[in-house]
Amino acid sequence: MNGSNSLPASPDVARPACGVRPVFLWTGSLLWGVVLVGLVVMWQNQRQRDAAASSDERSDSRLESPDKDTKVVTIPVNTATDGQVINLSDLMGQSKPAADVPLWDPNGIEDFSFTNCDGRTVTKADLLGKPWAICFVFTKCLGPCPIVTRQLRTLQDRLKDADVRLVTLTVDPIRDTPEALLEYAKINGADLGKWYFLTGDQTAIYGLIHRGFRMPVQEVTGPTRQEGFEIIHSTNVMLVDAEGVVRAKFNAAKDEDMVSLRKELLKLSTPP
């Protein structure tokens, strides 16, 4: 024995290769980061869907019972009615016409004169002789307008061989100039030979929608006014025959309604 107090050497212990543990930690952190980002994206998407649903509900409630801060546009029916006006409540069915009175004038809608997106003047006479469908939207709408416009694009594409016309009438004519509507038409792939985008005087537009089509439209003012929801209007697409008589309404939010509209347009455009 020697006098050394040193302990016997320990056997070699296997050690991880340099850098393995840091790489493992980095990879795990990256995976957790991806998961967290995915969860945040899902949460944001859900919030957007909830907000859109809430906005639709608010729009519906405004149509049914506008509050005191909401400006409801009332338009004289015509000079023959001694100043009679149509209120939003009448159009929403709270005051229904007698059973023997047709909803739409059997003599056809009144004449009108609006400006197309290409600058041309379009009147009722320009649309006579062919069946047509008309919708009411505005280009800055964050509500149902994009759905309505997509439905008309589908009609255009599926009725390309039919002799029919499509009409988009803005409910926000102050901002929807012919130039703005032309850009909107191009973005949505409109065939301007068959699809009109009309603007004009707001009183004339609202009057035609109220009187001729018996549809609601109103501009929102006051604290309830929100960007993209400034105008409350119907999502119905109206079917008009070659004589200018309104035949029916079809809800653009329902695909089955639009299928029915397409069939009716085909039927009206096909010679007997």
Do 40 and 80 belong together in one domain? no
pLDDT of residue 241: 97
Count other C-beta atoms under 10 Å from residue 104's C-beta: 18
171 with 54, same domain: the answer is no
What would the mean pLDDT of 74-98 be, rounded to a whole number? 38
Q: Of the candidates 166, 133, 154, 152, which has an alpha carbon nearest to the alpha carbon of residue 238?
A: 133
In this structure, are 207 and 184 located in the same domain?
A: yes
pLDDT band at 271 (very low <50, low <70, confident <90, very high): confident
Torsion of CA 241, 246, 249, 250, to 10 degrees: 20
Residue 215 and residue 96 share a domain: yes
Same domain, 56 and 81: no
Give me the pLDDT at residue 191, please: 97
Task: Provide long-range contacts, Cβ within 8 A and 24+ apart, for 68-71.
Answer: 69/221, 69/222, 69/223, 69/224, 70/218, 70/220, 70/221, 70/222, 70/224, 71/218, 71/219, 71/220, 71/221, 71/222
Q: Range of 120's domain? A: 75-269
pLDDT of residue 272: 72
Whether residue 7 lies inside any domain: the answer is no
pTM of the predicted model as reported, rounded to 2 decimal places: 0.67
Residue 22's pLDDT is what?
Answer: 55
pLDDT tens figures, 207-238: 999 999 999 999 988 888 898 899 999 999 99
At 242, the pLDDT band (50, 70, 90 cuts) reads very high
Q: pLDDT of 113-143, one tens digit each?
A: 999 999 999 999 999 999 999 999 999 999 9
Q: In this structure, how many other beta carbons lie within 10 angstroms of the beta carbon of residue 124?
A: 17
Residue 270: pLDDT band with limits 50, 70, 90: confident
Within this chain, do residues 139 and 208 fall inside the same structural domain, yes or no?
Answer: yes
153 and 215 belong to one structural domain: yes
Q: Is the pLDDT of residue 104 over 50?
A: yes
When pLDDT is averaged across residues 47-72 and rounded to a whole number, the result is: 41
Same domain as 142, residue 259: yes
